[in-house]
Structure 1
């Protein structure tokens, strides 16, 4: 299978990516860090096992594009425009609905401050669990 940078993702490839992305430990890893090359190397390796030949950069680019498109559609829906749609919206909604959302809160002095809240998540979050998953991921890659 061709794996050039300009090659479009097939529906099956996107479904495979969403399948790996939907795993709880992967979602946590992707949320917990900005330096995520190792995570995408792992995702690319998992996709290769499923017959999808994409490198980590292609996986990261597709992840970012899907996430951006999802947020654009979600914002439109929240603004009352239900005509905007995208393929895999419901799959992405199921994956991303547990992601923290940054909310702007107006302060007395007229400035805004950003606070993070989690949708559909318990208030007790164990940061050591995220660290353990991160360590596990890199021990798999080593």
Structure 2
């Protein structure tokens, strides 16, 4: 199988990536770190077991692209544009809907601390809400 960086992902390859990505321990690790090369090396090995020959950089790039496209469509839906869509939206929604939300809070000393809150698992309402958090941090 050709493994060039520009090779398009087949539907089967994306489904395999989504199946690995949907595992709870993988989701937790991906959410909890920015330095995630090791996680994507593991994902690439898991994909090889499923017959998908992709290296960790390709897996990370596809992950980022899918996540970006999902968030773009989700934002459009939340803004009332239900015409915008993407393949695998429902699969990604099932994976990303319950990501914990990290909020920054200013402390008395002027520094910020990050706290993780539980995701909103209640059904969506008709109200459109956008929450913007500002934090002025001192060095």
Q: How many angstroms does 1:113 deviate by?
A: 11
Per-residue deviation, residues 77-113 of structure 1 (Å, max 9, x unmatched): 0000000000000000000011123569999999999
Higher RCO, 1 or 2 (CA under 8 Å, sep at least 6)? 1
Residue equivalent to 1:55: 55
- Which blocks of at least 5 consecutive residues in structure 1 are unaligned? 130-140
Aligned CA distance change for structure 1 residues 114 and 72 (closer, same or farther; 3 Å): farther
Measured at CA, do residues 113 and 54 of structure 1 come closer, stay the same or move farther in structure 2, by a change above 3 Å?
same
TM-score (norm 1): 0.75
* Higher helix proportion: 1
**Do structure 1's residue 92 and structure 2's residue 97 form an aligned pair?**
no
Distance in 2 separating the partners of 1:122 and 1:41: 35
Q: CA deviation at 1:118?
A: 3.1
**Count, aligned residues:** 131
Give the stretch that moved more between structures: 34-43 or 98-107: 98-107
Q: 1:88 to 1:126 in 2, by over 3 A?
A: closer
Q: 1:100 to 1:44 in 2, by over 3 A?
A: same
Matches of 2:55 and 2:91 in 1, distance apart?
Answer: 23
TM-score, scaled to structure 2: 0.76
Instruction: Tell me: CA distance 1:6–1:110, structure 2 relative to 1, closer, same or farther (3 Å).
Output: same
Shift in alpha-carbon separation, 1:75–1:104, aligned structure 2, 3 A: farther
Q: Which runs of 5+ in 2 are unaligned?
A: 130-137
Using a 3 Å threshold, how does the CA distance of structure 1 residues 111 and 60 change in structure 2: closer, same or farther? same
- After superposition, the CA RMSD in angstroms is 8.9
